[in-house]
Amino acid sequence: MDTQAKASPRDRLLDAAIELFYREGVGTGVEALCRAAGVSKRSMYQLFESKDELLAAGLERRAPGYAALLLPAADDPRPPRARALHVFERLEELSAEPGYRGCPYLAVQVEVKDREHPASAVAGRAKQALTDFFRAEAERGGATDPALLARQLTLVFDGASARAGAGAETLAGLAAPTAAALLDAAGMH
């Protein structure tokens, strides 16, 4: 038997938070959120301190899945260069999907002006995790300046995701080649 016939209210709230805050922005009301999750406000405020906490918790929860969506498997045997490029190839694929609106963590960093906001911290950590991944690959690949290359790749990732989210242009053939040029420049062939 399965442990739960349907997702718990907590999980439904977190899923709805991710979904709605992403699609409609962090200005989305608690009312609409609870309606989407099929949970009463009463229960929501028993499970979470505030809307801000719910937002942060939603981002936190999605972080591993988001990383899995973009990063190569830990045991992916390809060389560091290919592993790093994998992220940009995945990003190009994701950006082709209709509902794509850019990296949710970047969006939160832009929308939430208060850097003390709990969600800002979560988003910052997600970005740092990406940079750390790039840096590890850069070191393994013998890049000239691994730290710099990692920051450059994160910068390209954010730029690409932001531009794709704005919707004006497709990322196809843009993100990966740009990253490749930087890998080349850093001596990671």
Partner DNA sequence: CGCCCGGGACACCGATCGGTTTCCTCCGAG
Partner DNA sequence: CTCGGAGGAAACCGATCGGTGTCCCGGGCG
Output 138 or 154, the one with its CB closest to a copy of itself: 154
Q: State yes or no: residue 113 binds DNA (CB under 7 A).
A: no
Q: How far is the CB of 121 from a copy of itself (least distance, A)?
A: 10
Give me the DSSP letters along 65-85: HHHHHHSPPTT--S-HHHHHH
- The b-or-e profile of 139-172 (16+ CB within 10 A means b, else e) is eebebeebeebbebbbebbbebbebbbeeeeebe
Helix (H, G, I), strand (E, B) or coil at 1: coil
Structure token pair of residue 41: 């406000």
Q: Binds 155, which of DNA, a copy of itself, none (CB < 5 to 8 A, cut-off by type)?
A: a copy of itself
Is 90 a binder of a copy of itself (CB under 8 A)?
A: no
Q: Does residue 46 belong to the site contacting DNA (CB under 7 A)?
A: yes
Q: Where are the alpha helices (DSSP H) in the chain?
A: 9-24, 30-37, 41-47, 51-70, 80-96, 104-111, 118-140, 146-166, 175-185
* From DNA, a copy of itself, none, interface partner of 52 (C-beta below 5 to 8 A by class): DNA
Q: Is 27 in the site for a copy of itself (CB under 8 A)?
A: yes
Binding span for a copy of itself by CB under 8 A among 5-13, 62-70, 85-93, 105-113 = 105-113
List residues binding DNA (CB under 7 A). 9, 27-32, 38-43, 45-46, 50-52
